Structure 1
């Protein structure tokens, strides 16, 4: 992408018009949508640069219990480990010892952030944990906190219930 294009301001009216066109064409009212073919998110897998550091962050700071630590079947010597994020959903990690996978980078088709719903009282407690641990974070709209994990992946803790976004139903 050229430097000129990066400095262009988006045409918000045109973007909203395109969203409207897409909603009109593809979004069906709740009662008219077919059921999903999926049962739910089994796990999301991220990459860890240091297994113990990742465990300390997710288990000790965010209070997501480690549930399993096994060898990655696809890469001998690599670990595959899981954290409970509620409702039988898992956040998983791989490490790739000996491979230079490089730092986190936002790319098309890549991860922007993982958003995890927590109870409002727990949300406040976890924001305090982030502060105490010295983790830079930004609170948005009083219900979301955004931060980066030890390897740079963006994480959001949101106090809204599953299926809601800032008080609006999205499911």
Structure 2
């Protein structure tokens, strides 16, 4: 029935700040950007390398969503990387804090977490030879 993930939708508190983060820091490519005057809202479609998209929205007065500790709902968004140290170095060059590297006890693959400008938990998961789910 399912063929894959098409997109993940994110509502930003500061649209321009989040747009810069997802394009300049993470390297997502802009597919389309639309301002919807009837909603006073932007919708930005971003291509994720390797497939899938992020839909980045702005809405005036959107309520905050708790993300920690372990709130119900979407826990985090994970991105595949080929070299974890290189990806971490790139994030740190943009003054983004990154958690210590961990090892997945089931796949033995390495991963780490960081946050987007609104505190959304994001993960970098290193594609390893033993990881057949990537």
TM-score strictly above 0.5: yes
**SS of residue in 1 equivalent to 2:88:** helix
Instruction: Judge conservation of contact 1:44–1:92 (CA < 8 Å) in 2.
Output: yes
TM-score when normalising by structure 1? 0.64
Aligned match of 1:61: 25
* RMSD of aligned residue pairs (Cα, Å): 2.5
Distance of aligned partners of 1:72 and 1:154 in 2 relative to their CA distance in 1, 3 Å threshold: farther
Matched, 1:50 2:50: no
Gaps of 5+ in 1: 1-36
TM-score when normalising by structure 2? 0.79
For 2:121 and 2:27, locate their aligned partners in 1 and report how far apart those are by CA, in whole Å: 17
Gaps of 5+ in 2: 104-108
Specify which structure has the bigger relative contact order, considering alpha-carbon pairs within 8 angstroms and separated by 6 or more residues: 2
Moved over 6 A (4+): none
The structure that is strand-richer by fraction is 2
Aligned pairs, how many?
126
Aligned match of 2:67: 105
Q: For the pair shown, which has the larger CA radius of gyration, 1 or 2?
A: 1
